[in-house]
Structures are given as C-alpha cells and as structure tokens.
C-alpha cells in the first residue's frame, strides 16, 4: 500500500468523532465534461475516471469501508455515441485484465451488478473470472454496476418473485420488504448509508432506488476524474455529522 494511503487512513482513524459508513455508493459522473474542458475526446475522460476509480476503491478498502458500489455503466448509457460506447467496452476489458493480474493481491471481493448478458462473450468471461478469483477474499465488497438500472433491477426482482408465487414456492401474503430486498442484485448486503455524486448534478439517475430509501446523499462540485481521497474524507465527515432518524424523531 502506498505511503499516501497509509497517511490518509491514519488521519481518518485519528478523528474519533468520525463515524464510517458501512456501505458507500458513488455515481462516477463528469468524465465527459472533464475531457471537454481540456479539449480532449470524451474517451480520455473515461480513462482518467477509471484510474481514479482504482485509487478511490483502494482507499475505501484501506480505511475500513465494508461495501462500495460504483455506477460504471447504466442501462441508458447504450444511447451514447457508438464510438464512446466502444471506448468504454475497451476500457472495461482493460480494467478486468488488470484486475486479474495487478490487483490480485488486494483483499477486495469484486462483484458485478446489472444485466451483464448484454456484453460480449469475452467481457462476460472476464467478469466471471474476476468474480471467481476474488470470491474467497475477506475484505471490502466492491460492487461494480455495469449495464445497471434500478428500474430494470426492480422489474427483474418482480418477475422473480412472481415466478416463485406461480410455482407455489412463495405465498403472495408472505411478500414483504425483505423478500424484495433479497431479490435484488445487492441481496445480503446492507443498504448504502451514503451515496456520493461528484459533478454537482442533483439527480439519482436510476441508481439503487430501493436500497437508498434512507441513504444520506452528498453532492460535490468536482468532476469524477478530479475527485480525491480528501473529497471522500469530506463526504464522510458530512455524513458523520448528519442525524439519521429513519423516519423517527
């Protein structure tokens, strides 16, 4: 682990007033605008954003975050220009190949949430291998949302529950919040305590709609490639100072 991570983690842990969220979600937004501001193609912004993703993910793991869910590619992102989508697919392939080699010693469990059947057979195989090779690790769970949309997830969960009712496995009167939660991609995981959106946009963008019912949101005026570990610390401090009542007094 680099000296930077060691220094930062000590700083966070020295502050006894900080309450770490158990589960953080991040909408990695602003790559295209970051590139445009610098006269670069949008694909360059995604490249820098991917590099920053590695930094932030490792930092979260180092300071003791248990679950991290990052929004990498939404079901709506297929509507982007073909060359941008192709560049993103190439970038995903590059990341997964690196995850199987350079990051094999990181104690991070990697999971993919979303409909990955839409990707090429080569990318699907890399996704399978990455999950398989990391599943016995004991550290932070990293959910990478690819071809993910929360409405799509809820439709999938509804169909699954309906099929269980149809087959007689589940009684309709037994359907409750737990049944729905356990039918989602994040089944068995705690709901996110904190969702961070860099780029200054005030939208949830179809991300973890069910899971974020009582999530604290922090909007930051930084485009994702510029988002730093200091910014993450600040978001955690803001979260730590919130009074979470979950509908109570």
Q: Residues 6 or more apart from 165 whose CB is under 8 A from it?
A: 171, 172, 175
Angle CA 5–128–45, to nearest 5: 50
d(CA 100, CA 45): 23
Task: Walk across the sheet containing 23-27 and list its strands.
Answer: 109-113, 141-148, 67-74, 23-27, 194-198, 216-220
Q: Residues 6 or more apart from 196 whose CB is under 8 A from it?
A: 24, 25, 26, 27, 217, 218, 220, 232, 235
Which residues are known to be catalytic? 29, 77
Residue 241 DSSP label: T
27 contacts 217 by C-beta, under 8 angstroms: no
């Amino acid at each position: 682990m680099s000296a930077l991570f060691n220094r930062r983690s000590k700083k966070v842990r020295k502050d006894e007033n900080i309450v770490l969220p158990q589960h953080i979600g991040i909408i990695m937004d602003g790559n295209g605008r970051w590139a445009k501001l610098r006269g670069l193609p949008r694909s360059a912004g995604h490249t820098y954003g991917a590099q920053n993703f590695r930094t932030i993910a490792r930092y979260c793991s180092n300071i003791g975050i248990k679950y991290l869910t990052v929004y990498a590619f939404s079901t709506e992102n297929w509507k982007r220009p073909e060359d941008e989508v192709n560049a993103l697919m190439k970038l995903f392939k590059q990341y997964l190949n690196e995850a199987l080699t350079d990051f094999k010693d990181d104690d991070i469990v990697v999971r993919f949430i979303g409909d990955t059947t839409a990707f090429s057979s080569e990318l699907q195989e890399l996704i399978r291998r990455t999950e398989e090779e990391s599943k016995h690790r004991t550290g932070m769970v990293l959910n990478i949302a690819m071809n993910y949309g929360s409405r799509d997830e809820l439709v999938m969960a509804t169909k699954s529950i309906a099929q269980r009712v149809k087959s007689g496995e589940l009684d309709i009167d037994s359907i409750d919040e737990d049944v729905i939660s356990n039918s989602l991609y994040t089944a068995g995981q705690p709901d996110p305590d904190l969702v961070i959106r860099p780029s200054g946009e005030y939208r949830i963008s179809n991300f973890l709609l069910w899971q974020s019912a009582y999530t604290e949101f922090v909007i930051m005026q930084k485009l994702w490639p510029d988002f730093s570990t200091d910014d993450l610390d600040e978001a955690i401090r803001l979260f730590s100072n919130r009074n979470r009542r979950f509908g109570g007094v």
